[in-house]
Chain A
Amino acid sequence: MRKFIVLLVTLVVGLAYADGQLEIFSWWAGDEGPALEALIDEYNALYPDVEVINATVTGGAGVNAKAVLKTRMLGGDPPDSFQVHAGQELIGTWVVADRMEDLTFLYDEQGWFDKYPPGLIDLLSTEDGIWSVPVNIHRSNVLWYNPAVLENLSVPVPESWSEFLVFCPDIQAQGVTPLALGENWTQQHLWESVALGVLGPQDYTALWSQQLAMNDPKMINVWDTFGEILACTNEDAAGLSWQQATDMVVSGEAAFNVMGDWAAGYMNTTLQLEPGTGFGWAPAPGTGGVFMMLSDSFGLPQDVTNRENVLNWLRLMGSQEGQDIFNPLKGSIAAHLDSDLGLYNAYLQSAAADWKSDAVVGSLVHGAAAKEAFMSQFATVLEIYLSSGSAQAAANAAEAIANQVGLGS
């Protein structure tokens, strides 16, 4: 109800002063709010006549914001610019529905073709155009640990999942959980790192175009490995948030944790730990040299009232200056290749180095790899696996959903 009133008010206000406004729709509130506000301040300094409306709907990964956005779009009231995960979440939902404007002209005008990695631009593009401007890059396949704890356990950082499974009983014998895990979506998050580690980047990418079937024997292997890894996790996983799972690693209750690199922001900013000594990181086992990315981006919906204001917003966000204002606060790296690394902490510097050299693949859970219709039903696949314990059943269910939603098309 409150959201509805907020919407109504924004709508009414929006109609009243249609000219000098820019409404930015996102889910960046709380810890992530300051980064967005800093960027908005910069926009205000550049374009003082424009009134910026910061329309955020709280809820991690946009769980609530996306629902509100859909009702607004269906109701014919698009915000001027909205946050969307780069990749299939943008293309499979909004571009195919013919709701976005092609931004190729903006990339030409700003010379961005040389400033972003080609793999990233591919992810934002279809044959018909480029559809959004990426503001940040997060990495999904990161293994976190506490160096002091690993020393006590005398366990090295595993380079593959099979190596991890060898150490698992040793770690358990010392009364420590080998891998900390949290609630439902963090399990899916772990799954994508396992899939990438077992399949390698080529097969992993082939999965999303259906060139590799979801019930291929290789995928059975992925599910079986995933099951063995789950046996090395904490039993109360489903009741923990991702922060609580990270806490287990920090306190030494658990040896490792696979989480996106917002965990670095949490440990560095919230828990005040030094990167490198307070916490350590490595690519998730078997995924060295591959950067599984997700990116927040903003696009230009068709029929917005303040088109020029939106374009200025996109110009600022896509620029090196804009990204270096936003990302150190957000705890992510800039998508822009000219980013000034001196502004970032040790973890982010290493991620930026990997970003330039590694092969890039997209994350499933965070909207880059597969369209929403598949992604949202992937929870059901996981559920089938967890309740039946059958790799074949899970693989068949995944294949059935992939066919139903036309995953590759």
Chain B
Amino acid sequence: MKGSRDRLTAVLMLTPSLILVGIFVYGFIARTFYTSLTNWGSDPAQALARNPVLRFVGFSNYRELFTGFIDVRFRQDLVNTFFFTLFFLLGCLLIGLTLAILLDQDIRGEGVFRTIFLFPMSLSFIVTGTVWRWLLQPRGGVNVLPTLVGAEPLEFRWLTSRNQVWQFNWQDLPVYTGALVAVVLAWLLLSAWRQRRRGRVVAALVSLLFILGWTVGGTPGIELLPYPETHGFNLAFIGIIAAAVWQMSGYTMALYLAGLRGIPVELREAAQVDGASGLQVYRYVVLPLLQPITLSAMIILGHISLKIFDLIFAMAGADNATTDVPALLMYLTTFRGNQFAKGAAIAVVLLLMVAAVIVPYLWSSLKSEVRR
């Protein structure tokens, strides 16, 4: 009797938030997805009409984004996001870990340093962006620092440089993907071999050979673009990455510091008794135990970087094409160009990218909680 009453209370308590989340999160996602399948905005007479007449056009907005001649900017934005995420994660993790390890050495004034390193995180990205925009002005800030010691000022145009490195042809993407999958499969093969699981070895070997054959054979069946199109890493992003790392590495440090404090002293002592040097203690005891922290940090930082908008908006403006990302393009497409359907398509692509990072993580953490 009491149990069913508890359940009733629980359901009643949860219902309002379930309804609100259902409408304002999942309902709106569904609405955005539906919008992305229409032609809303391609006819100006309907774009801002009181009751726009929308036509269902299937996935043609997505097709335009990935293959259209004038949507080259969207593809470069995806490349930008990739490199930004990569360097932002690397920077935050490395600096955060280093700071955390240094602070873990029982130094004096640890609290002060901790506060100083954490401080940037308390600012909003808009503030960070504005400060760094001033620092990275072409004729001021960082560029005139060398003149303090009598050297020539720097000439680098932080946010507007048109230089691009690591250029590749968009048409070659399937080859790179194939190579990446092959590497993963090779690793699986190796670990299966070590564990002596014959079934897995055979399966991995067959898939590996298939992927290698497909890649070397020129990736038949996939043509991304009918003409070559080069993309690469825009050097203008260096400044953005620096600002983002400056803001978030303190936070990463705090995560790592909590992780370090969570490692039982006995483990370290045991390792020392066994004759491990200071370095070895970190290499074989501390770092492996910090792996879950690294994963959480990557998830938290990763979803920030994939949907970054405000930092770049404040630092370089929405129109600075060399520092463009999909979220900015979505804003411009929707609210300046009135191309609501295409903007919605970009939003859905963004959502999928973030989901690809978050969902597996939620899945695995939920599963482990249930097991407990």
Please report A residues at the B interface, Cβ cutoff 8 Å.
63, 66-67, 70-71, 73-74, 76, 92-94, 96-99, 183-185, 235-240, 371-373, 376-377, 379-381, 383-384, 386-387, 396-397, 400-401, 404-406
Within 8 A of A (CB), among B2-54: 41-50
**Is the Cβ of A376 less than 8 Å from the Cβ of B337?**
yes
Residue of A184, A372, A377 touching B319 (CB-CB under 8 A): A184
Residue of B45, B47, B160, B336 touching A239 (CB-CB under 8 A): B160
Lowest 9 CB-CB distances: which A-B pairs, in order? A238-B160, A67-B335, A376-B337, A236-B138, A376-B336, A97-B48, A239-B138, A383-B321, A184-B319
CA distance A71 to B334 in the complex (A): 11
| Segment at the A interface, from B67-75, B87-95, B206-214 | B67-75
Residue of A63, A66, A373 touching B339 (CB-CB under 8 A): A373
Q: What is the total of A-B residue contacts with beta carbons within 8 Å?
A: 107
Known: A93-B338, A236-B157. Is A380-B50 also a contact (CB below 8 A)? no
Q: Mark B226-267, 1 if CB is under 8 A from A, else 0.
A: 000000000000000000000000000000000000000000
Report if B318 contacts A (CB, 8 A). Answer: yes
Instruction: Give, as a whole number of angstroms, the nearest-CB distance from B77 to chain A.
Output: 11
How many residues belonging to B are interface residues under a CB distance threshold of 8 Å?
A: 36
A to B CB contacts below 8 Å, 7 in the list:
A70-B335, A238-B320, A371-B44, A373-B44, A376-B333, A396-B69, A400-B69
Q: Mark B129-163, 1 if CB is under 8 A from A, else 0.
A: 00000000111000000000000000001111010
**Is the Cβ of A66 less than 8 Å from the Cβ of B336?**
yes
**Is the Cβ of A379 less than 8 Å from the Cβ of B335?**
no
Within 8 A of A (CB), among B317-362: 317-322, 331-333, 335-339
Known: A67-B336, A376-B337, A377-B70. Is A239-B48 also a contact (CB below 8 A)? no
Q: Mark B169-203, 1 if CB is under 8 A from A, else 0.
A: 00000000000000000000000000000000000
**Is the Cβ of B69 less than 8 Å from the Cβ of A97?**
no
**Is the Cβ of A99 less than 8 Å from the Cβ of B50?**
yes
Closest B residue to A96 by CB, please name it.
B45
Contacts of B317 in A (CB 8 A): 183-184
Instruction: Give, as a whole number of angstroms, the nearest-CB distance from A17 to chain B.
Output: 25
Closest B residue to A188 by CB, please name it.
B319
- By secondary structure, the B interface counts as loop
Contacts of B331 in A (CB 8 A): 67
Instruction: Give, as a whole number of angstroms, the nearest-CB distance from B186 to chain A.
Output: 37
**Is the Cβ of B49 less than 8 Å from the Cβ of A97?**
yes
Known: A372-B337, A380-B70. Is A239-B321 also a contact (CB below 8 A)? no
CA distance A371 to B45 in the complex (A): 11
Instruction: Give, as a whole number of angstroms, the nearest-CB distance from B113 to chain A.
Output: 33
**Is the Cβ of B160 less than 8 Å from the Cβ of A379?**
no
Residue of B48, B50, B69, B162 touching A70 (CB-CB under 8 A): B48
Residue of A66, A73, A93 touching B44 (CB-CB under 8 A): A93
Contacts of B41 in A (CB 8 A): 373
**Is the Cβ of A404 less than 8 Å from the Cβ of B335?**
no
Known: A97-B45, A97-B46. Is A397-B336 also a contact (CB below 8 A)? no
Contacts of B336 in A (CB 8 A): 63, 66-67, 372, 376
Instruction: Give, as a whole number of angstroms, the nearest-CB distance from B156 to chain A.
Output: 10
**Is the Cβ of B320 less than 8 Å from the Cβ of A183?**
yes
Contacts of B339 in A (CB 8 A): 373
CA distance A383 to B45 in the complex (A): 28
Instruction: Give, as a whole number of angstroms, the nearest-CB distance from B67 to chain A.
Output: 13
**Is the Cβ of B48 less than 8 Å from the Cβ of A236?**
no
Residue of A70, A99, A400, A404 touching B338 (CB-CB under 8 A): A70
Closest A residue to B48 by CB, please name it.
A97
**Is the Cβ of B46 less than 8 Å from the Cβ of A240?**
no
Contacts of B318 in A (CB 8 A): 63
Closest B residue to A372 by CB, please name it.
B338
CA distance A172 to B204 in the complex (A): 64
Contacts of A236 in B (CB 8 A): 138-139, 157, 160
**Is the Cβ of B69 less than 8 Å from the Cβ of A397?**
yes
Name, among B43, B44, B69, the residue most crowded by chain A CB atoms within 10 Å (CB to CB): B44
Contacts of A67 in B (CB 8 A): 331, 335-336
**Is the Cβ of B338 less than 8 Å from the Cβ of A386?**
no
Known: A93-B47, A183-B317, A376-B337. Is A239-B137 also a contact (CB below 8 A)? yes
**Is the Cβ of A384 less than 8 Å from the Cβ of B72?**
yes
Q: Give me 14 other A-B pairs in contact (C-beta within 8 A), A373-B337, A400-B69 excluded.
A: A67-B331, A70-B335, A92-B44, A96-B45, A97-B47, A97-B48, A183-B317, A183-B319, A183-B320, A372-B337, A377-B337, A396-B69, A397-B69, A406-B44
